[in-house]
């Protein structure tokens, strides 16, 4: 049993003193009754606690997939710019934080959770959880860039980037035939680097998670590509392409580990993960 005011303060963004006022104003009900007090004992799993008509349940682990739109920042608060959390219209929004960051102009899969351990595991450099992106870049497909990505690129840091998987895509989502065989995902020692997504897996991600509208962003003298990296350096994808003389015109994350962006989510919308998706994430973390 939990005190009503404490339970609501823990599960929503309201403070306990605000909750007291809401109870007094009749905006909270327990099992249909507003004749309640802040100290009323409730069993939130079985009692129906409503705040402004919305059921408040004990949260446990919350994990949301958002299709981040361009123009918002991946932070919990920002004085000048709207954040991804401003897009979450849920009583528990204040408990969430984004798992890692996407640039302000980057779109796509962003996880929001209240689970610090899950977030830590997904971002931990030692776990090599892959992140796969769809990128529209300047110039035409070039086999040499595939090799450079696979070997790791000097982006001005102490070490080169870890090997990354790059493929060029036709506008209907297939890998461009002439590049499929190139750099099939093995490095010169003939082994797959840790965390790197295989070309087959990457093709499946592309087929399932890239919307046709995204291919339509590809303009003249530009091409579509899919890139998978197993680390998360600042502006990593843009800097890797820049080091190869290319600019990224559009960037969208389509997968984190084995978790794919739901293509039915419009930019700015979100949903909680299904049990299957939670399992996919856990598999990604355990390697
Ligand atoms: N790499 C980038 O350059 N930007 C992002 O937002 C994510 C990866």
Atom of ligand 1 nearest to the CA of 238: 3
**Same domain, yes or no: 165 and 210:** yes
CATH of the domain at 201: 3.30.70.1560
**Same domain, yes or no: 153 and 249:** yes
**Same domain, yes or no: 138 and 246:** yes
Across 109-130, average pLDDT:
91
Which pLDDT belongs to residue 175?
66
Tell me the whole-structure pTM to 2 decimals.
0.81
**Same domain, yes or no: 70 and 114:** yes
Across 10-28, average pLDDT:
91
Range of the domain at 114: 63-122+264-286
Q: How remote is the CA of residue 151 from the centroid of ligand 1, in Å?
A: 19
**Same domain, yes or no: 102 and 190:** no
What letter would DSSP give residue 83? B
CA 120 to chain centre: 14
Across 70-82, average pLDDT:
94
Q: How remote is the CA of residue 6 from the centroid of ligand 1, in Å?
A: 40
What letter would DSSP give residue 87? G
Cross-strand bridge partners of residue 42:
2
Q: How remote is the CA of residue 199 from the centroid of ligand 1, in Å?
A: 21
- Residues with a catalytic annotation lie at 103
What is the tally of structural domains in the chain? 3
Mutational test site, ligand 1, from 70, 100, 103, max ligand atoms within 8 Å of CB: 103
Which pLDDT belongs to residue 191?
55
Mutational test site, ligand 1, from 102, 149, 230, max ligand atoms within 8 Å of CB: 102
pLDDT tens string 180-189 = 444 444 544 4
Tokens of 143: 């086999």
Atom of ligand 1 nearest to the CA of 240: 3
Which pLDDT belongs to residue 184?
46
Q: Whose CA is nearest to atom 4 of ligand 1?
A: 235
**Same domain, yes or no: 214 and 252:** yes
Least confident of 27-36, 110-119, 177-186: 177-186
**Same domain, yes or no: 154 and 183:** yes
Residues with Cβ < 8 Å from 178, sequence gap 6 or more?
A: none
**Same domain, yes or no: 188 and 231:** yes
Site residues for ligand 1, CB cut-off 6 Å: 102-103, 106, 235-238, 251
In b/e form, how buried is each residue of 71-103, taking b as 16+ CB within 10 angstroms? ebbbebeeeeeeebbebeebbbbbbbbbbbbbb
Q: How far apart are CA 253 and CA 264, in angstroms?
A: 15
Residues with Cβ < 8 Å from 71, sequence gap 6 or more?
A: 81, 82, 104, 105
CATH of the domain at 39: 3.10.290.10
**Same domain, yes or no: 135 and 188:** yes
pLDDT tens string 122-171 = 999 888 899 999 999 999 999 999 999 999 999 999 999 999 999 999 87
* Of 1 and 82, the one with more pLDDT: 82
Q: Are 56 and 5 in contact (CB under 8 A)?
A: no
Mutational test site, ligand 1, from 123, 133, 166, 229, max ligand atoms within 8 Å of CB: 133
Q: Whose CA is nearest to atom 3 of ligand 1?
A: 235
Tokens of 35: 């004749």
Q: How remote is the CA of residue 273 from the centroid of ligand 1, in Å?
A: 23
Cross-strand bridge partners of residue 28:
51
Which pLDDT belongs to residue 178?
52
Q: How remote is the CA of residue 253 from the centroid of ligand 1, in Å?
A: 8
Which pLDDT belongs to residue 235?
97
**Same domain, yes or no: 136 and 164:** yes
Mean pLDDT, the chain, integer: 89
CATH of the domain at 101: 3.30.70.580
Residue 174 confidence class, pLDDT cut points 50, 70, 90: low
**Same domain, yes or no: 161 and 233:** yes
**Same domain, yes or no: 75 and 171:** no
Query: Above 90 in pLDDT, residue 43?
Result: no
């Amino acid at each position: 049993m939990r005190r009503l005011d404490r339970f609501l303060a823990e599960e929503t963004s309201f403070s306990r003193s605000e909750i007291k006022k809401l109870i007094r104003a009749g905006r909270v009900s327990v099992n249909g009754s507003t004749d309640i007090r802040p100290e009323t004992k409730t069993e939130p799993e079985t009692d129906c606690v409503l705040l402004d008509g919305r059921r408040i349940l004990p949260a446990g682990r919350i994990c949301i997939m958002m299709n981040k739109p361009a123009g918002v920042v991946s932070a919990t608060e920002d004085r000048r710019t709207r954040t991804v959390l401003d897009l979450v219209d849920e009583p528990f929004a204040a408990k969430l934080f984004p798992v890692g960051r996407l640039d302000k102009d980057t779109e796509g899969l962003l996880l929001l959770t209240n689970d610090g351990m899950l977030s830590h595991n997904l971002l931990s450099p030692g776990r090599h959880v892959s992140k796969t992106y769809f990128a529209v870049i300047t110039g035409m497909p070039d086999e040499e860039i595939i090799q450079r990505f696979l070997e790791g690129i000097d982006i001005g840091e102490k070490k080169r980037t870890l090997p990354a998987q790059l493929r060029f895509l036709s506008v209907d989502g297939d890998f461009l035939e002439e590049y499929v065989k190139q750099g099939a995902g093995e490095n010169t020692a003939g082994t797959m680097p840790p965390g790197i997504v295989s070309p087959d897996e990457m093709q499946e991600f592309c087929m399932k998670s890239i919307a046709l509208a995204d291919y339509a962003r590809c303009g003249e003298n530009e091409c579509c590509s899919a890139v998978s990296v197993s680390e998360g350096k600042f502006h990593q994808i843009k800097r890797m392409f820049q080091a190869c003389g290319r600019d990224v015109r559009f960037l969208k994350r389509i997968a984190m580990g084995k978790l794919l962006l739901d293509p039915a989510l419009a930019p700015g919308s979100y949903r909680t993960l299904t049990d299957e998706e939670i399992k996919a994430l856990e598999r990604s973390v355990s390697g």
